[in-house]
């Protein structure tokens, strides 16, 4: 009897490896420790059981990497040394969104609301990430550095970062719990129209638009200034007319919106990378490698129309038989790009798209599904 799959912890080496292999790439979080190491961790504070285990401050940045290792919080350099992860990232055209997290104002590292201290902290982190990525032999289109830190692009420019950068908006404060953060963020969310956000990101050279799901799905999409955008009907078509192929990375991406995102040519960040999750809520088999193992129309139709009892077997079959992006011929890659360009109204011509494509690279326009925090967020 096959053992049930157990989701790895968010931002763990195992989880990030799972996300990289099972989808088109990953998003993960970095923090800077008291002893100057980059570690894989999301929260600015430790949980009560974690504090009881290692003692000391509740703030993550107040601890050394050695102390955090007791909690199975791993170093960024350990992830980069993982051959399975690194080979998929470097050689198979997968993408990674590397998010730099800022410390809580009460922490000892950059612990204040002084913008100069926090700016310096962001520069130190950006410079370290830049240096470590430079040793990986990656392509520019395989990575983007992101952060909610205000003026993040400015900090990266001062750190001479050579990799693509994108600003997460609206800025989320470091203080307060989840509910308080959402309340404090609401005014900036309402004032920041999606159209302005997209045009600004494009103007400053960001390779894609980081887009909160609330801008295009649910009642919250009606709260912002400007025109309303959505995932279906005329609001979806309006979004694609605005984008013209400029990619939006949408988070979070519940399984219930995956089909709509893919049909619009958007990119999603999923918290469900389980190999047992084989059926979409609307029906049809669930395929999670939209870009890195693209389906021909006939295969896509087969998965869409199949009986749920056949989904698992059909996905296993497709995984074995469908040619991954890095093994496609130049003619085959051009064929996919030409089809997607026409379907989703990409602005760049086909020769430009092909020039940005290789076994190791994909154009930023491509629609992908990524593992959020590796193999998915931990729901506590």
> DSSP state, 79?
H
- What are the chain's domains? 13-372 (3.20.20.190)
Q: CB–CB of 322/293 below 8 Å? A: yes
Residue 309: cis peptide before it, omega within 30 degrees of 0: no
What are the residue ranges of helices labelled H in the chain? 13-22, 48-54, 65-69, 76-80, 83-91, 115-134, 152-158, 178-191, 194-203, 233-243, 255-264, 297-305, 311-321, 330-344, 350-355
pTM equals 0.95
- List, for residues 123-151, the tens digit of each pLDDT value: 999 999 999 999 999 999 999 999 999 89
Read off the pLDDT band of 190 (50, 70, 90): confident
Are 50 and 71 in contact by the 8 Å Cβ rule? The answer is yes
99 against 150, higher pLDDT:
99
For the cut 80, the answer to whether the pLDDT of residue 111 exceeds it is no
Mean pLDDT of 338-367: 98
Q: In the prediction, which pLDDT does 252 show?
A: 95
pLDDT for position 113: 65
Place of tokens 């129209």: 193
Round to whole Å and give the CA distance between 139 and 89: 9
Q: Is the peptide bond before 74 cis (omega within 30 degrees of 0)?
A: no
Q: Let me know: does 210 contact 249? Beta carbons within 8 Å.
A: yes
- Among residues 205, 296, 306, the alpha carbon closest in space to that of 246 is found at 205
Distance of alpha carbon 58 from the chain centroid: 27
What are 244-297's pLDDT values in tens digits? 999 999 999 999 999 999 999 999 999 999 999 999 999 999 999 999 999 999
Provide the residue count of the chain.
Answer: 380
Q: Which residue has the tokens 């045009």?
A: 199
> What percent of the chain stands above pLDDT 70?
97
Query: What confidence tens digit (pLDDT) does each residue in 296-328 have?
Result: 999 999 999 999 999 999 999 999 999 999 999
């Amino acid at each position: 009897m096959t053992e049930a799959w157990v989701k790895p912890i968010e931002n763990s080496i195992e989880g990030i490896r799972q996300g990289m292999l099972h989808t088109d790439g990953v998003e993960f979080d970095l923090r800077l420790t008291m002893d100057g190491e980059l570690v894989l961790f999301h929260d600015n504070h430790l949980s009560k059981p974690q504090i009881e285990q290692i003692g000391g401050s509740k703030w993550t940045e107040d601890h050394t990497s050695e102390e955090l290792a007791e909690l199975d919080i791993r170093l960024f350099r350990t992830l980069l040394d993982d051959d399975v992860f690194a080979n998929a990232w470097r050689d198979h055209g997968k993408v990674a969104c590397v998010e730099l997290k800022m410390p809580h104002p009460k922490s000892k590292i950059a612990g204040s609301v002084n913008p100069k201290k926090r700016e310096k902290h962001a520069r130190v982190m950006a410079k370290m990430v830049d240096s470590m990525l430079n040793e990986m032999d990656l392509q520019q289109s395989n990575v983007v550095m992101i952060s909610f830190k205000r003026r993040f692009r400015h900090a990266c420019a001062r750190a001479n970062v050579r990799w693509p950068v994108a600003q997460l908006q609206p800025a989320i404060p470091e203080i307060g719990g989840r509910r308080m953060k959402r309340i404090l963020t609401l005014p900036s969310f309402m004032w920041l129209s999606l159209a302005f956000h997209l045009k600004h990101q494009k103007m400053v050279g960001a390779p894609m638009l980081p887009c909160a799901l609330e801008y295009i799905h649910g009642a919250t999409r009606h709260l912002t200034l400007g025109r309303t955008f959505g995932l279906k009907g005329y609001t979806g078509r309006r979004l694609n007319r605005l984008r013209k192929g400029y990619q939006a990375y949408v988070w979070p991406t519940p399984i219930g919106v995956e089909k709509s995102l893919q049909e619009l040519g958007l990119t999603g960040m999923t918290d469900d990378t389980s190999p047992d999750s084989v059926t979409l809520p609307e029906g049809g088999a669930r395929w999670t490698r939209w870009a890195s193992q693209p389906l021909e129309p006939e295969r896509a139709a087969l998965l869409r129309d199949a009986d749920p009892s056949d989904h698992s077997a059909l996905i296993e079959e497709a995984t074995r038989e469908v040619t991954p992006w890095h093994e496609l011929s130049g003619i085959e890659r051009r064929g996919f790009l030409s089809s997607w360009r026409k379907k989703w109204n990409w602005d760049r011509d086909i020769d430009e798209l092909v020039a940005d494509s290789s076994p190791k690279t994909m154009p930023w326009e491509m629609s992908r599904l990524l593992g959020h925090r590796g193999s998915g967020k931990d729901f506590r």
